[in-house]
Amino acid sequence: MGHADAQRKKVELGLIRQLDDYEVRSVKALQWMVRWGFSTSKILNQIYLSKNDLAKMEDAGLVENFQIGFKKHKDSRPIPTVIWFPTRKGRLVGKVGDYIGKRYPSVELASHDLIAQAFVADRLARDSVGSTGTDIWPARMIAKTGVPGIDLAQHLPDAVYFDHDRSTTYVLEVERNPILIKRSESSAVERFKFVEKLSHLIGNGFGDVNVTMLYMTAHQAEKTKAIFDVFEREGYPDFYCTQGKTKHYWAHREDVGGTLKQMNKVLSFSTTALNFASLDGVDLSRWLP
């Protein structure tokens, strides 16, 4: 049995994946990077590319890379964390419809966006949800193009993706700084805005809508779930907005027995549409640096 036959047998057994031709897989990788703004070799090599493809794409002027930090390693010096992003030439080759993305990724959001990207890649790989590299709208792309058929207005999630027949819309919110579990006057308004955002997203998806809120710890996820259980039973604190040069939010209060009381708003969706996940329970080590 020759090498080609051995490789074919491994593909049939599901031990390795079938690779497209270089021209095809490089375009798919560029489209992924155009959508997200950047990616890593760890992600790209698992979903599209072969080991030496990025170097070949760099030589062709399609991609660039830069270092965003270091990862500690117990047995060696810290390992550089490198992200790859498409050049202008690469963005034109990998454009999605008319969308070619921005020239540079947002380094400030790289860590947050990498978690979102890793979660979506993992979901696509594990559950075969959607068609990998297509029907995925990260926040930066939604802000520019919207999502066909869905009015998201300014309620931008971190990502939207679909199953094959669009009977289910999947929405991802990465919560590194979970506003719902904070307790302050200003965070009360942010909580209201966040729940309104979820109401809008769930009310504007195709078919069933599944929202994953991904937290850094299981404690954060469990605490948020408990808060939503209360919201479903009792409603959530209501505010109204006045528009001048800037928006101002005011608590909706009414006289109840001679006392002004903060009013609650009925939750417009069932919490069964929400999935409270955490990095403690979702293993993304396969995808993250």
- Convert the pLDDT of each residue in 209-257 to its tens digit: 899 999 999 999 999 999 999 999 999 999 998 887 788 889 999 988 8
CA terminus-to-terminus distance, the chain: 36
The DSSP letter of residue 88 is H
pLDDT at res. 148: 73
**Could you tell me the domains of the chain?**
1-98 (1.10.10), 106-289 (no CATH)
pLDDT at res. 172: 95
- Convert the pLDDT of each residue in 23-50 to its tens digit: 999 999 999 999 999 999 999 999 899 9
pTM of this structure: 0.83
Task: Tell me the one-letter amino acid at 191.
Answer: R
Band (pLDDT 50/70/90 cuts) for residue 121 is very high
pLDDT at res. 33: 95
Asked if the model's pLDDT at residue 9 lies above 60, the reply is no
Task: Tell me the one-letter amino acid at 97.
Answer: G
Report the range of poorest mean pLDDT among 117-121, 129-133, 245-249, 281-285.
129-133
Other beta carbons within 10 angstroms of residue 205's beta carbon come to 23
Asked if the model's pLDDT at residue 13 lies above 50, the reply is no
Dist CA 141 CA 96 (whole Å): 10
